[in-house]
Amino acid sequence: MNIILLGPPGAGKGTQAKNLFADYQIPQISTGDMLREAVRRGTALGKKAKPIMDQGRLIPDDLMVGVVEERLQQPDCANGCVLDGFPRTIGQAEALESVLSKLKKRLDAVISLEVPEEKLIERISGRRNCPNDGTVYQVYQNPPKRAGFCDKCGGGLVQREDDKEQAVKERLKIYSAETAPLKSYYSKRGLLTSVSGVGTPAGIYVEIKKALSKP
Ligand code: AMP
């Protein structure tokens, strides 16, 4: 099953992608995580992406499509995957369509997580990451046991550059302009279900499962 999780930054796509992995054993393909890994490793892609990401803007479509096309061909995607953070533009969605058909795969569902903007800002501004193992905390809803430090490895937590106020505003603006139009794109293709992304992660996941079991 190939699924797209659509939603603005802070909608909870990463959390729900992990639930889907646990249930269906289909890997999460998070282009944001892949780019952050490329930045950390200092690859050519990472060097190109870093200044763009820090400002909250989008990496050019051709670069992103190449990254995803390669990832979809890895053996763990044989039974499907959860795309988290891709596609983000109509151009990426069109390219994904041709990549999937080239690979003889198909898109089964698009779930759009809906969260009001003030809630998104609250969630993102409270987000803290462990740079060592990638664990994400939320200082209000899911705080670490010791403030500022990772429960798993004890390392110091940081705030992502693009989770800072100015970049967040830019990311939300870009989401409305470039990514939200994907809702009608997929709705026209009969693939879209909107799910409220407000509530407990477990409650939201129940709604996602309902949407996926629709005939
Ligand atoms: P995310 O973790 O999904 O919020 O992504 C973090 C940042 O990575 C975004 O703000 C973009 O700069 C970049 N990025 C991730 N996915 C994409 C994509 N599909 N297209 C363009 N840029 C992306």
Q: Note the pLDDT tens digit of each residue in 5-49.
A: 999 999 999 999 999 999 999 999 999 999 999 999 999 999 999
Please tell me the distance between residue 215's alpha carbon and the centre of ligand 1 in angstroms.
32
* The ligand 1 atom nearest the CA atom of 13: 3
Query: Which residue, among 132, 133, 157, has the nearest Cα to 143 in the 3D structure?
Result: 157
User: Tokens standing for 65?
Assistant: 């499509």
pLDDT at 191: 97
* The ligand 1 atom nearest the CA atom of 171: 10
pLDDT at 167: 86
pLDDT at 205: 97
Please write the tens of the pLDDT for every residue from 164-197: 888 888 999 999 999 999 999 999 999 999 999 9
CA torsion angle 120 125 131 132 (round to 10): -70
Q: Which pTM value belongs to this model?
A: 0.91
Return all residues near 20 (Cβ < 8 A) that are at least 6 apart. Answer: 3, 26, 28, 82, 208
Please tell me the distance between residue 115's alpha carbon and the centre of ligand 1 in angstroms.
18
- For ligand 1, pick from 15, 40, 59, 179 the residue to mutate: most ligand atoms within 8 Å of CB: 59
Instruction: Write the DSSP string, 1-27.
Output: -EEEEE--TTSSHHHHHHHHHHHH---
Q: Please report where in the chains the tokens 């603005």 appear, as a residue.
A: 8
User: Tokens standing for 145?
Assistant: 């046991």
Residues 5 and 24: their CA atoms lie apart, in Å, by 15
Residues 49 and 127: their CA atoms lie apart, in Å, by 21
